[in-house]
Structure 1
Amino acid sequence: MHLSTVLVAAVACVSSVNAHVALWDKGMFGLNYPYQADDPQNQNYNNNEPVIPLKQADGRTTAQWFGHGLLGYPPKSGDFMYLPSGGTYNGEVSCNRAQTALGSPYDNTPKYKYACKPDGGQYSGVGALHVMNTYNGTVDNKWFGGSALAIAYTSDVGSLQPNDMTVISVNQNSVWEREISYQIPAGMPPCPSGGCLCSWNWIHQGGHGEGYPYEIYNVVYRCQVTGSTDSANTVQKGAVPNKCDGNPAGCVKGPKTPMYLWQADGNNLPNLDTPPNYRDNWGFADGAQNDIFTPAATPASSGTPKATATALPSGWSSVGCMVDDVNLRALPGSSYSDPANNTIQACVASCAKQGYNFAGVEYGQECWCSNTATLTSAPDSDCNMVCPGDIWSNCGASSRINVYRSAKAPTTGQATVLPDSDVPAGWSSLGCMVDDQSNRALNDGSTSSDTNSVEECIATCGARGLPYAGVEYGKECWCGSTARLVSATSGCDKPCQGDPAHICGGSDRLNVYFNQALNTTSTSTSASSTSASASASGSISAFISSTIPVTASSSAAVSTSSSPMVNSTTAVETSSSTASSSSAVSSVASASSSSAFPSVSSSVSSSAPASSISTSSISSLPSASSTSVQGSSAKPTLAISSSTPSSVASSSTSSLVASTSTSSSAAKSSTSTSSLKPSTTSSSTTSTTVTSTTTSAAATATTSLPAGWVSRGCYVDSSSSRILVSSIFENKSDMTYAQCIATCTRKGYSIAGVEYGTQCFCANTLTNPVPAVASTCDRPCAGDKATMCGGYNRISILQNTAVKRRSWGDKKGRPHSEMIKRRNETGQ
């Protein structure tokens, strides 16, 4: 509610309030209830919460009656009740804030003489003061019970006990008129840093048929002692008063505590048949209590309040005081507000019951629950708002939250992907994948469980003999014999329901795991995409470094979720051309080599038919821990096919393709040339191409490219982070590879890129290249529907290898490929 709304409501509602009475001061706790005093948007000038009587019939706990249960609503920082040592404190008692000087600044009507303004209600006017029943009738002084100010020399409201208060002043003829005064003893010591805590105490004298004569009133304030203070004096701890009618010598002498009784616990007086009062028959003189500096013979014991409610459920512990921000919540789950009774115990119990593993109390009244937490430590002293339902505990503050965690909660606050070392044996992580509810990534059934975890899901799928397992949205487990995998760069952020410390996918996101030993799918069965990764020193980064100029640092990791080289389905293409049976095919380098796609250094002759090539002469693909190959029935090997009987020049069609077959003839499957070609090492070296096959649209052109131009595959691109940075851009309704290459050639560029079917970009280097899944370059060229011209935020890269690129690499001009090779050789 905005301030203007509150002001109108406050002025309109003053006449309808039925209430009792409290002493109003800007230093009081609960002044702006149900809002905090420093709330700039909400001012409750019509507040009457502090005046509601604390009845015997209600049986409130100490936490509920002490300070009227409003200690979670402190005054504004810097606001105090000021008590002049040796002087007079002048204040206002009233049934409503609106009837005092602290009411609406827009209400200029004269203030009423008596504490409660008559408004026609049962407890309005002087009738609310319990000193008479007839408005403007004769006042019977015997019904004045008197009221008292008390003080405790501490600013820590969280450690304050009712018996820590010592009465310093009494006004025996109250309550009656709105304006009231209290005489303050001379020589009062100054308060500590942060001020003192004071209380106002009144006990209703009853009678006259009200029906519930036994009530107390108790309000707490932050206060300061001003004037002529004396640090040599000490306000002593008070004793419990006693009734001493007609026997002044029998009254308790010296300092005394305020009186409280008829509540559920914490009473310091027995339950009496008649109410006690702050008058001579209970040992209280009218005015300043000048005997407060003499130690009491039997000071009241502070005791431990019975109503504290800080016990935590089993397994829960405190994390501490944390920063909270409305734009980045410390606990971003659910929340509720309980202005009257919020406690740590109740909040934690509520969160635990809902299945959350973090709980937090904030701003006194708020409870927050979550399974993740952004934990930014704040000083414990920042969390200084008292819990309304447990005044001996703090419930955070403004932008501060006391956080608690279960034994299952992630230590750092954020769930993480299950480490590879903890993934069950035989299984490996393929990463975060997109799931489409209309076209599931894994199609062999699912379960939903409150105990779901990566390990449990893998066990479920493994028991069914299925090689793919995926966890989604925290509690779901999906299994598959095959997979339709499209990598996702984000969205896997949901903690596992049964293991909140680790991630189990997210909304339309799967964390997928694969077991090669369980994979019985034929090599002709295809999955739509591949997942592989490489570090900065690994295969993909090495390949990019050695073939395409890159403007990013060579030490930066190349982020990729797939490799154009490897696919879950591979095609085997073998011709009847001959090759030398004595020629050995060089093995593909491991992930630590300088290039993931090395040239074949040995010549290929025609002295033997291709069918004579044995399995032992076929080099296998690398098996690096940083690369995951999925969807094939076995680890792929390399087969050689050639259409010429002799050594092949760089323009030949000789290629390396992944296969598990050694047959001299195999059915041809449709292949795409999205794979990456390495540069030829010499004129006598066979030019190689690694070709991948997928069931999705072809990733690059199937038509021939101009001489010297080759495809470099599919990459991530966006308007905010272009991979090809230059001023060259064309958008044509008949875009083809040939058109884009022609444009870039005319402009003097050696790299061309086609995107979203119609767009063309040019450059001489790649800026921060991030390879993408080949199948995501799925937009047909506008002028050549058989060819894919990138996609949405995906660009198909083409390069002119005949153009000699400028020297680049380290400070000595050595190319990065040489640097990587030298590092591998030296072990540095």
Structure 2
Amino acid sequence: MHLSTVLVAAVACVSTVNAHVALWDKGMFGLNYPYQADDPQNQNYNNNEPVIPLKQADGRTTAQWFGHGLLGYPPKSGDFMNLPSGGTYNGEVSCNRAQTALGSPYDSTPKYQYACRPDGGQYSGVGALHVMNTYNGTVDNKWFGGSALAIAYTSDVSSLQPNDMTVISVNQNSVWEREISYEIPAGLPPCPSGGCLCSWNWIHQGGHGEGYPYEIYNVVYRCQVTGSTNSANKVQKGAVPNKCDGNPSGCVKGPKVPMYLWQADGNNLPNLDTPPNYRDNWGFADGAQNDIFTPAATPAGSSAPAATATALPSGWSSVGCMTDDVNLRALPGSSYSDPANNTIQTCVASCAKQGYNFAGVEYGQECWCSNTATLNTAPATDCNMVCPGDIWSDCGASGRINVYKSAQAPTTGEPTFLPDSDVPAGWSSLGCIVDDQSNRALNDGSTSSDTNTVEECIATCGSRGLPYAGVEYGKECWCGSTARLVSAASGCDKPCQGDPAHICGGSDRLNVYFNQALNTTSTSTSASSRSVSASATSAVSSSEVPITSISIAPSSSNSLSSSIASSATSSVVSVLATSVSPSSSVSPSSSASPSSSVSSSSSASSSSPSSSVVSSSGSQSSTSSSVSSSTSSSTIPSSSSSSSSAKATLSALSSAAASSSASSSIAKSSTASSSSTSMSSAKPSTTSSTTSTVTSTSTSAAPAATTSLPAGWVSRGCYVDSSSSRILVSSIFENKADMTYAQCIATCTKKGFSIAGVEYGTQCFCASSLTNPVPAVASTCDRPCAGDKSTMCGGYNRISILQNTAVKRRSWGNKGRPHSEMIKRRQEVEQ
């Protein structure tokens, strides 16, 4: 090729490559591409082949991308890149060979300050566009990804592998200007007789109009170490770097290899959406890398290491990739988001510390904890989002969660009620019972234990001679000589702390067990027993004693009769009506919604109970049933002349209350007084002629009172919420073990928001408007606030909304906004 042709070509090509650069040196492979460097007839002074980026979409093989695929074009014999040990290497980065000292010797045009020649446009003279601030002509230092020099102590290019290179120097403020320098570590050993092999590595940070998130640059050189070398030292094989933003102690220490990714093979990093860089947040100091003589803890192999879970707490293991649904969470416990540093290990450790038995990572940045799990397997390849704090591991994906479990976790994910066959001899289950902190169901003492189980609690109460034992909230054990039993259709869902495979009550829910033989307060059946039917008359005594005997006559038509024997004083107490189907067992998972109540008045003659409707399946309809009677407190009859358990007793009474008779009464002794006893206490009231009503607790809580809200704040009710479509869209989120309305409102007020939302008992969200609001039934906001059990802080996928009416409302929803757009907005906020 004639010289004139070369120079014309140089002028024509310069403006087309001013966003791409390479480090030019006479020791470069491909310096004279497409000709060999020793070709005396052809010199390509306009060469720009080494600056063409390795775009992530290209997916090249190692032979195509390593050394830019130019290892078949070695430098001229005897030409080396010279690296002065303990000194500084000075070179040139440019878009084209013609713009460097290696350009045409006949071109006397002054070289430019910047890496690339000005293009003559409005940004003439700014240099490489990769570090510009969106083409506005200014430099933005955040786009300086840094570049690195690496070395391999071999001259055999045919056997050279990408991970054979060890980074020896970094210039963090590149690329920008044409002239560049790299500090070389002191004490480098000399190269073998044929020289060493070096590489220049740069990954641009994207976002500048190239059409790709980022591009990779990799050029190889023959090099020599000059100056004061030290043969006693050895440059060690490097380890793969890791991202360690804000956590210097977590950075990979010692020698490191250059970073390769997004190619068909030969990568040592997974494909990342955010480009890695040669700066401190990836463990690279600016200047000479003086830690290269210390062996790496885990030298890089020929391929990327597989994700492992070796750092999990003892006893924890992987369950696999599972589907997750905002309407049916795989792990419906607590959660947090860590966009910068989330890892499997930190998530599992956090869940384990809080006493959970399941942990899961989702959408890269989310960590979920729970004691129960809905395990629906998804293909392992679906969980493909990289953990931001551990690029070697995957942290689920959108709608996909990597789940881990402790050794105590239920095998199926869901704890079950202790089977009747496993209940200690003599004891039987009374099912799931409502508990009230101001009026306990069992009131003879309690314990709390991290090893709590049903069996342990029964043993504790039995050793005290108490016939009732109840487990609550996983770790609590309650005992009672009497019981206030109001059955609950749901809420018993907390695994036992010492036996996560089985349930130990829940929040304000007890699993109660009863032992007939220990009911020492009962008396024997006598001739004065009166037959009780669904239409019997009820009367009470003024003192509290247990009902002594209930006998249930079997009948194919489900008509149940009971007889109650009076004590020596003929005193009798009424039985709280429970929403139990007319079967001999209580089903904690029943779909019934109990709403029955018992009303106690001072006059037996005024009793006029309404009957509830019981379907053929035994589920109670919405019609409420009440039994009005002059009655004693919360004592529940348990003793029976037959082998029937108290569980059957509850069922019989519920069935009787639901019968077609217009009234239900219990015969009283002729000596019974007409004074009543308050039902809110286990101790008989001394107040006479009073009226007391006890209503069974609904399975869904009513909206919390707002009387304690700060001035101007009001409750707006219960709304649907989910992690994929938040009703309160902002970056404000708190999850506190002592959450209250006041705490959440204070947080939102401090951040300038006029709307606060409390969810799942512990979570707080803030915003100034509601996004796509969907009102929910008030009773579904049923989670007591963790720091104030008297109020309800939302529920599962339910949020209690509070608003400052003193602030003008910007918008009460965005009903016209597409759902997909809202999800996109949330993702943008989180990222």
TM-score, structure 2 length as denominator? 0.39
TM-score, structure 1 length as denominator? 0.39
**Of the two, which has the highest radius of gyration?**
1
